[in-house]
Chain A
């Protein structure tokens, strides 16, 4: 059912469009400024503590915040994806071709994921700096990257879904952001509720709960099951939205 050839045609188109647009560069510069500033601050404040490690003082909060930045920027990266195809009527072109709805969705998501990897590459400067001064704990750092990668894949699939619902880019990014916020707030509700089981369910459903384990360097298979089912659900919803024109 999945045709790599077809996906790669959409992927290449998306990638070209992404790196031709100014959006990715604006996001990249904002992203660098904010994360650089955070890194610098965590380093400075780390000097005041002597009883804790760099892992706890710099790496964990830094990557936690980078993950949050991706949550904020993802709806911006995806707001164009289907909204623009609708506005320019090019969705008609794709849907009357050999491409299937799934080819289109996956090609777009992978294109966006490549953009995200580009942003992540820029952040490699932080662990490199750390390891030059002898503080690079690479297993934990890599597990953080793994966590951000999978979390962002989830954020992007939400964003792509939001974009498939409307022609309007602003509405699309606000909608994507709201869904992500709701998922994030589930973690908070999980902490508040007195009922243990309900609390556990809420935490399990929220992304931060799963990122947190990875950010400590603990790799548990059920976190990946969560990430894949989370993004799978939103990919499927987008698919339903696209084929619903046939009903």
Chain B
């Protein structure tokens, strides 16, 4: 265990050789948060390369979702520092770090359920749609131009998951798997440098999961972004993640590539040793 140091360590990707020529897209140094007396996350230090797909795994309640909430400034950390694309995000609000290039999906799906599928994606395009309030209300030419662009872009993004035909359906009426995919499309629409996926395969059947895996890889290749995902489906995690960090009781107990993680005794204990309790 190499994460007990109290001083920030030099950034190092889980997989050092990938993107080693470029600065990491995301770095966290000794990140920690307490809820009252409970330390939910502690000494969380990680660096993610520009086009890396990495996994965050660990038993239920380990603090994985809390890490995502810290990285997107939904929670302000009690300790530690986050650098997004080389910039410190301390004190910024969630919408500001979104603009700085971090996007996410949610463990409990959070779609704009009463809006159409297309409009959900267009909300994701909010910052790249250039249209002033006056142009919107008075329908000036800028409105028609920006709406046309937004519609085209939204449909193009939906095509990543072959969802164009559902563009005008109400988002809340989609089947579960499609809702998870729509959340990913919406996150992509914000034009992120890194996308955080919180249990993207939850509730999907094996064939849907397999397809999702292919698509996550496709998205990384096409958009050249980093993806960090929380997932319980080990086939998916071991199948696409180039680097994996294992969290237990709020602390990283192991980092490495899938092979290293599979054979790490601390990981096996965290997953199997706890079972009898």
A binds B: no
Chain B interface (Cβ < 8 Å from any Cβ of A): none
